[in-house]
């Protein structure tokens, strides 16, 4: 189950998992980090008691966690869920996690850690347009993708001298799993949903959470890359007003949702995809047909 941020995936997944004895495996690159709770919309403790969840709070904020590592962990979690008599349900909006699990397997070339960190620091301040221009030269086939994928393509090209698109073709192995996707997206209503969720996060204490995290988590920790956390850290320090911070986070989140939609549109083309509007009157019927494999669009 996938879709842009704030689309309503978690609520649909919880309903479905309770109804059919499922377990939820989070495919969310933000929720893997412990302590970063409010701004990543982690399920509440009460929801985790209702349905087993995997893939949440599995890394410290300063640890790197790749899509390949997540896919390996996800296979283990799927086995644990099945052993407990539950159906594993992959839920999230991190497209490259989904591709790592359901796409052709890829043997990643080894990278020098020091050179990788130095390059990451150099590229961190580059705009999306800059990265896209670099990628058009270094790996044109991947130049249409989002920021994370662009960074990865540039990194591989500069550190190995090879194009990631070529390596994928040369080193690809057949995927172990075939996915049927339930794409949750409320359409034009998403913009208002994003604003409403940001307000709910602020009311829940997001600024205080960011302030507390800033005392112990280094500024360069990967977890801070989660949408909105950099702004909330600035709000907590007094560098940005709450009102301005709110608006900036809403804009950031809408931009992220746009990139997610672009990824799903390109990467799921030709896949078995059922679309679901969580506000539609028949959403439960659509979800049930998808669960039983009766509807593919």
Q: What would the pLDDT profile of 180-232 be if each residue is shown by its tens digit?
A: 999 999 999 999 999 999 999 999 999 999 999 999 999 999 999 999 999 99
- For the chain, the domains span 9-103+175-291, 106-173
| DSSP H or E stretch at residue 26 | strand 22-26
CATH code linked to domain 106-173? 1.10.20.140
CATH code linked to domain 9-103+175-291? 3.40.50.300
* Separation between Cα atoms, residue 226 and residue 24, nearest integer Å: 21
| DSSP H or E stretch at residue 280 | none
The DSSP 8-state label assigned to residue 199 in this structure reads: H
DSSP string over 268-279: TTTSEEEEE-TT
Cα torsion through 290, 104, 164, 117, rounded to 10: 80
Contacts with 3 (C-beta within 8 Å, 6 or more apart), sequence order: 9, 93, 183, 184, 185, 260, 264
* Separation between Cα atoms, residue 254 and residue 258, nearest integer Å: 6
Q: What is the pLDDT of residues 3-29, one digit of tens each?
A: 999 999 999 999 999 999 999 999 999
Residue 96: band (very low, low, confident or very high) from pLDDT cuts 50, 70, 90: confident
Q: What is the pLDDT of residues 47-86, one digit of tens each?
A: 999 999 999 999 999 998 988 899 999 999 999 999 999 9
Report field, pTM of the whole predicted structure over 0.95:
no
Q: Quick one: angle between helices 113-123 and 147-160, nearest 10?
A: 130
Residue 27: other Cβ atoms inside 10 A? 27
Q: What is the pLDDT of residues 162-175, one digit of tens each?
A: 999 898 778 766 66
Residue 296: band (very low, low, confident or very high) from pLDDT cuts 50, 70, 90: very low
Average pLDDT over residues 113-123: 89
């Amino acid at each position: 189950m996938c879709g842009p941020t704030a689309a309503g995936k978690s609520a649909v997944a919880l309903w479905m998992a309770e109804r059919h004895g499922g377990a939820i495996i989070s495919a969310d690159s933000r929720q893997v980090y412990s302590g970063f709770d409010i701004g990543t919309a982690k399920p509440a403790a009460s929801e985790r008691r209702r349905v087993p969840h995997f893939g949440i709070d599995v890394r410290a904020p300063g640890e790197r966690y790749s899509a390949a590592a997540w896919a390996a962990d996800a296979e283990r979690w799927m086995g644990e869920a099945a052993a407990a008599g539950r159906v594993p349900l992959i839920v999230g909006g991190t497209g490259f996690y989904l591709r790592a699990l359901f796409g052709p397997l890829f043997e990643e070339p080894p990278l020098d850690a020091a050179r990788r960190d130095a390059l990451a620091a150099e590229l961190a301040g580059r705009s999306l347009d800059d990265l896209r221009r670099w990628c058009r030269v270094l790996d044109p086939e991947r130049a249409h993708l989002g920021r994370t994928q662009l960074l990865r393509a540039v990194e591989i090209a500069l550190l190995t001298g090879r194009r990631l698109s070529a390596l994928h073709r040369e080193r690809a192995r057949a995927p172990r799993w075939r996915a049927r996707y339930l794409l949750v997206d409320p359409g034009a209503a998403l913009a208002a949903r994003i604003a409403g969720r940001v307000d709910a996060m602020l009311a829940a204490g997001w600024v205080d959470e960011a302030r507390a995290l800033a005392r112990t988590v280094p500024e360069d920790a990967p977890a801070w890359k989660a949408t909105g956390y950099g702004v909330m850290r600035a709000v907590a320090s007094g560098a940005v007003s709450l009102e301005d911070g709110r608006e900036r986070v809403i804009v950031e989140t809408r931009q992220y949702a746009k990139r997610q939609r672009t990824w799903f549109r390109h990467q799921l083309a030709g896949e078995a995809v059922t679309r679901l509007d969580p506000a539609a009157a028949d959403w439960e019927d659509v979800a049930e047909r998808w669960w039983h494999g009766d509807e593919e669009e």
